A and B are shown apart, each in its own frame.
Chain A
Amino acid sequence: DSGVTQTPKHLITATGQRVTLRCSPRSGDLSVYWYQQSLDQGLQFLIQYYNGEERAKGNILERFSAQQFPDLHSELNLSSLELGDSALYFCASSVYTLAPTDTQYFGPGTRLTVL
């Protein structure tokens, strides 16, 4: 158990809908990262937050947004969903030193299926 929790574990929805994925980082971790893993692909970095502020952005679609709240949990919002958004979405967290070599600890992921 990495200490990172993600809810829900599974989500099935229809095209055009909006969903929210939730992540709670490990106790004491201030950085949260979101990654997307599509079928047979590696994990693709989406976005990083540090202590409530956006720190880095990857190939995140404009239909996707995220935020980190004062209690450090994070939410990833996906809107106008398309079939191609079906994927595993992982959240990771790391400690507060902001050293690039800080280990990222991953949650179990949320499997999103868009029908």
Chain B
Amino acid sequence: DQQVKQNSPSLSVQEGRISILNCDYTNSMFDYFLWYKKYPAEGPTFLISISSIKDKNEDGRFTVFLNKSAKHLSLHIVPSQPGDSAVYFCAASDTNFGNEKLTFGTGTRLTIIP
């Protein structure tokens, strides 16, 4: 059972425009959410996170939005740059009782078109 879902396997966006990556989750116990970025032949790199007590977190060009009632989060990248081309993974965690296990989605491949 896939508890974290990224329904778009790929996304193409023109350079300078906004990239929006989406993620849905089913486990209502998840209270901490992260986005990781992965280049070929490298491991995932942490990008940004959000706690369930917030609905938005911003870091430079990256903003994550959380809609708890819809069990949905999204990552906005503005403006998109060629170096943003990568696979983006959404991950979630139930931090109760000190649990550190991350549950990942299957990833969305973002391609920025120059």
Contact = CB atoms under 8 A, between A and B. Distances in A.
B43 A100 contact: no
Interface residues of B, number: 27
Main secondary structure of the interface of A (DSSP, over half): loop
A100 B89 contact: no
Interface string A28-53: 00010101000011111100100000
B93 A100 contact: yes
Given A41-B106, A42-B89, A104 B46 contact: yes
Contact of B95 (A90, A92, A101, A104): A101
Contacts of B46: 103-105
Interface range, A side = 20 to 34
Contact of A104 (B99, B102, B103): B102
Interface of B: 2, 4, 6, 32, 36, 41-46, 49, 51, 89, 91, 93, 95, 98-107
5 contacts: A42-B104, A45-B102, A100-B99, A101-B93, A104-B100
